[in-house]
Amino acid sequence: MTMEGEKRGERLFRAIGGVGGDLIDMAEKRMFRAGLWRRWLPVAACLALVAGMGLLTWRQIWSGQVPNGRDLASPAETAQEPAAAPEEPSAPASELPAQAENGGSGAMAAQVRQRLTVKGVVYYVEAVYGQLPSKERPGSWLGTVSKADDPDLVGADVYAASDTLRSGSRFTDMPLLILVEQPEGYRFCLTYYAWDGPLYTRQEAENLYTQGKWDALAAFALADTAFEDPDQLDSEALLRLFLQTLKLEELAGRRTGDLNRYLWEQVDEFVLAPSEVTRQLDRYLEGYTFDPSQCAAYDPARDALVLQTLEPEDWARPMARRIVLEGDTMIVETEDRTCTVRLTDSGCYYESIVEVE
Amino acid sequence: MEDREIVDLYWAREEQALEETQSKYGAYCWRIAHNILRSREDSEECVNDTWLRAWNAMPPQRPAILSSFLGCITRNLSLDRYKAGRTGKRGGGQLPLALEELDYCLPGTQNVEQAVEEAELAQSVDRFLRSLPEKDCCIFLRRYWYVDSVLEIACRYHMAEGTVKSSLHRTRERLRVWLEQEGVG
């Protein structure tokens, strides 16, 4: 956007601030009726019921049995499940709430943390369970669950919960819909912020390059970071890189029942398991060594990194000036850095970020 | 406490007005600030500044809708703070995108020095929004007043993202035509 355009946009933005208070109030309070199939995804209503409900295992809901009352796993506990063996799903991480006998309006739900593998990509998801009365499939088919913490989800179909979510795209913060078919309809679990794969696959990076979407590829060229080998990065630098690359919404388990608020709005500190940091770093780097005990924020009592904010220190968003794709290597040049990225079938990884004179 | 009662407290210079405002609208204003600033600390400071501005504004003002009155103060303070601290800010959230989207709507002027009074522009936009179907108006305001993301709007109104984007695109185009016809820009 040009500077003149910037001024126009801001002027109009300010002018919009002067519209009638009744319109602003309407935009806050007015709700619109969901479309037919969306009425059976009562996300906000379901999540609002989580607090104070009892818990059930997925199997017990399936068979209609009574809950046994196990507690929901804490984020730290769940995140410490072996990152070294991501292909092996562990035992179900969490419990489910009691299923209401309400004729299948999908009102009962709970947040459950799961790891799912779909077409080779591991998703770390918050799942909400409910029931759809109809067999409508709202979005495109994305694949089947090949591995999951909850074995009852293995083999389940995964659909886009939005008709705008294109098949095969991992880069969406719209929910994925995982449907487990039953004679009377589908049981579904709705996932939020499903992310746990590489930043880009090789094909995605090549597509972005071909399409000239260099700003997206410039995400590789992080400011305030430089190294010739990932192993050179000390743990504080790795933590800083983690914060720079983190999208707050991706931090699993931080949503509340109100879609317009996030749990992290209510907390005074952020307690991060080391595995949450390394899971994020694994999307960008190979061959690094992260020792959380070397970080100032490390709390040995909780074996966690305790931060007052997830906002990193100010840094400038880089703009790509030149990108070269040569075989398995992509070179991203910004104003002050040259970043070398290795493209593999499993993802694209930084090899080096070098400051230029 | 009803808005009218809270405003009465301001007029009576009772400090309880601030407590009631914080209690009722603290989260609301914080969300508006955070959508723009994407910083917890900055958002908190903006909200605190909002209460001070509100204290100084009432009296003489007696807003009919306290939420939008406070929200507007927060929004303006947040925008000013965003501009002041813009260099080096991480991400910037939705605001840069929103500004870029709006850039197209205000007709490019051949005489850049000829400015339209902000109030006149606001009134024109107000008339435009009132001419829209309610849903389109709400979507537009969620995007460009509240600075919600497209996803958040889609979830709030139980719509697909594509539907929200289409609505915004159509409305922006209509706004551009409207402002041209009104001679704004």
- Is residue A75, in this structure, part of any structural domain at all? yes
A138: in domain: yes
* Domain assignments of chain B as residue spans, ordered by start: 3-84, 95-181
Q: Assess if residue A119 is contained within a domain.
A: yes
Asked if pLDDT for residue B94 goes beyond 60, the answer is: yes
Nearest residue to B120 via CA among A19, A10, A9: A19
- Rounded alpha-carbon distances, angstroms, from residue B31 to A28, A148, A247, B28, B43: 12, 35, 17, 5, 8
User: pLDDT per position in chain A (357 positions), as tens?
Assistant: 555 656 788 889 989 998 999 999 999 888 775 544 444 444 444 444 444 343 333 333 333 332 332 222 223 333 333 333 333 333 232 322 222 222 333 333 334 456 667 666 566 555 445 544 344 445 566 677 787 777 767 777 776 554 433 333 444 444 455 565 555 444 555 554 444 456 667 777 787 777 776 666 665 556 567 888 888 889 988 888 887 776 554 554 343 333 333 444 445 567 777 877 887 788 778 889 999 999 999 988 878 888 776 655 544 556 677 888 888 888 888 777 888 888 887 778 888 888 887
Q: Which pLDDT value is given to residue A245?
A: 73
Same domain? A238 vs A122: no
The DSSP letter of residue A100 is P
Same-domain pairing of A186 and A268:
no
- Kindly indicate the confidence band of residue B131, based on its pLDDT and cuts at 50, 70 and 90: very high
Residue A27 is assigned to a structural domain of this protein:
no
Looking at domain B3-84, does it have CATH number 1.10.1740.10? yes
- Contact between B100 and A4 under an 8 Å Cβ cutoff? The reply is no
Give the integer Cα–Cα distance in Å for B38 and B89.
9
Residues forming beta bridges with residue A343, ordered by sequence position: A348
Whether residue A187 sits in one domain with residue A48: yes
Helix (H) or strand (E) run with residue B24 in it: helix B16-37
Residue B61 has a pLDDT of 87
**Together in a domain, A186 and A233:** no
Nearest to residue B85, comparing CAs of B53, B120, B38?
Answer: B38
Contacting residues for A100 by C-beta, under 8 A, at least 6 apart: A107, A108
Mean pLDDT in residue range B19-31: 89
From the list B31, B138, B160, which residue is nearest A162 (CB)?
B160
Task: With respect to residue A55, please indicate whether it lies within any of the assigned structural domains.
Answer: yes
Domain annotation covers residue A286 = yes
Instruction: Please give the structure tokens belonging to residue B62.
Output: 């007696």
A206 and A289, same domain (yes or no): yes
In this predicted structure, what is the pLDDT of residue A219? 59
Q: Place B139 in a pLDDT band, splitting at 50, 70 and 90.
A: very high
Residue A92 lies in a domain: yes
Contact B25, B66 (CB under 8 A): yes
Asked if the C-beta of B158 comes within 8 angstroms of chain A's C-beta atoms, the answer is: yes
Q: Both A265 and A321 in a single domain?
A: yes
Q: Do the domain assignments include residue A110? A: yes
Provide the domain count of chain A: 2
Domain of A94 in residue numbering reads as 37-192
- Whole-number Å distance between alpha carbons of A205 and A193: 21
pLDDT-derived band at B174 (thresholds 50, 70, 90) equals very high
> CB atoms < 10 A from the CB of A351, how many?
18
Under 8 Å between Cβ of B143 and B98: yes
Whether A67 and A162 map to the same domain: the answer is yes
Residue in B112, B141, B154 nearest the CB of A27: B141
Q: Do A214 and A314 reside in the same domain of the chain?
A: yes
Q: Using the 3D structure, point to which of A165, A192, A219 is the last residue of a domain.
A: A192
Among the partner-chain residues B63, B100, B130, the one whose CB lies closest to the CB of A9 is B100
- The answer on A108 and A84 residing in a single domain is yes
Same domain, A47 and A183: yes
What per-residue confidence (pLDDT) applies to B74?
Answer: 94
Q: CATH assignment of B95-181?
A: 1.10.10.10
Same domain, A206 and A181: no
Shortest CA distance from A311: residue in chain B: B39
- pLDDT the model gives residue B34: 86
| pLDDT for the residue numbered A248 | 54
Chain B residues lying within 8 Å of A311, measured CB to CB: 38-41, 90
Integer Cα distance of B25 and B18 in angstroms: 10
Rounded-to-integer distance, Cα A93 and Cα A220, Å: 33
Final residue of a structural domain among A162, A192, A222: A192
Q: Are A32 and B135 an interchain contact pair (Cβ–Cβ within 8 Å)?
A: yes
| Largest CA-CA distance found in chain A, in angstroms, rounded | 68
Q: Are residues A281 and A157 in the same domain?
A: no
